[in-house]
Amino acid sequence: MQRFVYVQTFGCQMNAYDTERILQVLEPLSYTPTDDPAQADLILLNSCTVRDRAEQKLMSYLGTFAPLKQHNPDLLIGVGGCVAQQEGEALLKKAKYLDLVFGPDNIPSLPALIDRVRSEGQRLSETVLHKKKDGYEFVAGKPLEDGKPVANVTVMKGCNKNCAFCIVPQVRGRELSKPADDVVAEVTRFVESGVREILLLGQNVNSYGHDRSDGVLFPQLLDRVAAVPGLDRLRFTTSHPWDCTDELIDRFATLEPLCEYFHLPVQSGSDRVLERMRRGYTAAEYIERADRIRAVVPGIYFSTDIIVGFPGETEADFEETLSLIDRVKYDFLFGFTYSPRPGTKAAQYEDDVPEPEKARRLQVVFELADRQRRARLATLQDQVVEVLVEGPSRASTALKPQMMGRTRTNVIVNFPVGSMALGQLRWVGQMAQVKVTRVSPHSVTGEVVQIEETTRPRPFLAGLGVSTAA
Ligand code: SAH
C-alpha cells in the first residue's frame, strides 16, 4: 500500500539534514514524500527551539494540521527536532491531536514508533538524548535523487560550549564526532552520485575530533575530505571563534576545493556583553581572527550572526557592536533579537531591553549590513563569475524561466534561460560562466557566457527525468 508523508522542516541546516534522515528511515515503510499535507497519512514537523519565535511558529502550524484528521482518521501527526527534545511528553498534553514526539537522537526508532502508535493506538514520546561518550550511531547520509549537485554531510552532533543564551547543548547534547572514515565514505558516495559541492555540518564543526583519540581534528578532516576525487567545492558551518585556529585558517591557502566563504558568529562587539554571554573571546581577539582569515584568503566573503538586546546590553554596548561590524565588514549578516530560552543561564537574567528597543537595534544593524552587502555585490557588476548550477531559481516563472547557482563565495546568481526544457535542465550540476548584468540587494542576475561540457557521471539527473546519455 502506498502511503504519503509530509515533512515540514524548521530551523537550521542540522534540521534540514535530519529531515533527509527521517525520509531515509521511512523508505522501507513505503512512505512517499508529498508536498501536500492534505494527501499525507503521516505529517511530521521537524521543529526548532533556538529562538522563541521558532517555537511559536511550530505551535501555530500544528494547529492548522489538526482539522485534517477529521477527513483522514488514519492520519498520524508527529513532532521531531529540538522542541520535541525539550518538551517531550508535555507536547502530547499541549496538543491533543498529536500522536508522536521524537527527539533528534531517536530518528532511527521512528519506524518502530510509528508501528506502535498504529498498532497499539497509543500516543508516544521518545526523546532519549544520547549522553555517553561512545555508542552513538550516526545515520549515514545517502544520496537523494533530488537532482541537486550540493549535499550536506553532518560530521558531529551536539555542542560543548556553554553560551549563556543558547539552548542547543540542552537539546542536542554533548559533542560527538562522526569517525573520519565514515565522513569520507559518505562524501565519496555523494560525489560518485554526481554531487560536486559538500557542506560539512555541525553546531561547532571546528571543535571536531576533540572527543576522539585518533588524532583527526577538523583541519585533518578537511584534508581528507578535500582529497576525495571529483569534489570541486567544500564548505563547513558553523564555526566558533574560540576554536578558529591558525591551522584551520591556513587550510584555505592549501586546499583547492575549500571555498572562499567563512561564517564566524560574533554575537556582540562589546566585551562586557561577550563575557556575560560566555563566548570566551574579546572583540579584539575576534577582529584578529577575521584579519588573519582575510590575510590568508584575500577577497574571501565573510558572514556572521549578531544578537541584539541581550540582558544588560546598554546603548554603549550596542554602539560597540556597530563599530565591530563597521570594522570587520560583512558580506552577509544574520541578526536576531534576544529571546530567553528555558533552562539557559541567561534565562535567569532580567530580560531588560524592551522589545521595541530590541527591534530598533536590529533594524540599525540590518541597515549597516545592507550597505556593506550592497557595496560588495556591486563590485560584481559586469564581471564573469563561475557558478555551480543548482536548478530552477526561486524567482523562476513560466514566462521568465530562470536557473540559479552559487559562486564559491556563496553569492546567489540567477540567470534567465530560454525555457525550462530538458536541454537547460542538463545544465544542473555544470559549472557556468555567468556575466553579471544586474545587482540586487541579496543576489545578482546575469547571462551565461559559457557552460562547461562535462563528461562526469551525473546519475542524479535521472531524478529530474533527464537522460544523461549524450
Ligand atoms: N552553534 C551555532 C548556533 C546556532 S544558533 C553557531 O554558533 O552559529 C544560530 C544563531 O542563533 C546563533 O549564532 C545566535 O546568533 C542566534 N541565537 C541563539 N540563541 C539565541 C537566543 N536565545 N536569542 C536570540 N538569538 C539566538
- Whole-number Å distance between alpha carbons of 351 and 341: 11
CATH of domain 384-464: 2.40.50.140
pLDDT at 424 over 70: no
384-464 and 3-126 share a CATH fold: no
Tell me, in angstroms, the distance from the centre of ligand 1 to residue 420's CA.
38
Which of 204, 333, 336 is the pocket-test mutation for ligand 1 (most atoms within 8 Å of CB)?
336
Nearest to 177 by CA among 149, 124, 234, 215: 215
pLDDT of 131 reads: 83
Answer with the residue of higher pLDDT: 419 or 280.
280
> Could you identify the atom of ligand 1 that is nearest to the CA of residue 340?
22
Q: Which fold has domain 3-126?
A: Rossmann fold (3.40.50)
* 55 C-alpha to ligand 1 centroid (Å): 14
State phi, psi for 40 to the nearest 5 degrees: -80, 145
The strand pairing partners of 400, in sequence order, are none
CA of 367 to the centre of ligand 1 (A): 20
| Residue whose CA is at the smallest distance from ligand 1 atom 15 | 305
More confident residue, 464 or 356: 356
Residue that the C-alpha cell 552559487 belongs to: 406
Distance from residue 350's CA to the centre of ligand 1 (Å): 19
Indicate if ligand 1 lies below 6 Å from the C-beta of 204. Answer: yes
Per-residue model confidence as pLDDT tens digits over 309-364 = 999 999 999 999 999 999 999 999 999 999 999 999 999 999 999 999 999 999 99
- Among the residue ranges 125-134, 262-271, 346-355, the one predicted with the least confidence is 125-134
d(CA 414, CA 425): 14
Tell me, in angstroms, the distance from the centre of ligand 1 to residue 333's CA: 13
Domain 133-378 has CATH 3.10.20.30: no
Going from N- to C-terminal start, the domains of the chain cover 3-126, 133-378, 384-464
The distance between the two most distant Cα atoms of the chain, rounded to a whole number of Å, is 65
Higher pLDDT, 204 or 140: 204
Residue pair 85/104 in contact by the 8 Å Cβ criterion:
yes
Instruction: Supply 254's cell numbers.
Output: 592549501
**Ligand 1 near 307 CB (within 6 A):** yes
* Residue 417 DSSP code: -
Q: Strand runs (DSSP E) across 412-468, as ranges?
A: 412-416, 431-439, 444-451
Query: According to the model, what pLDDT value does residue 467 have?
Result: 56
Quote the pLDDT of residue 155. 97
Confidence of residue 181 (pLDDT cuts 50, 70, 90): very high
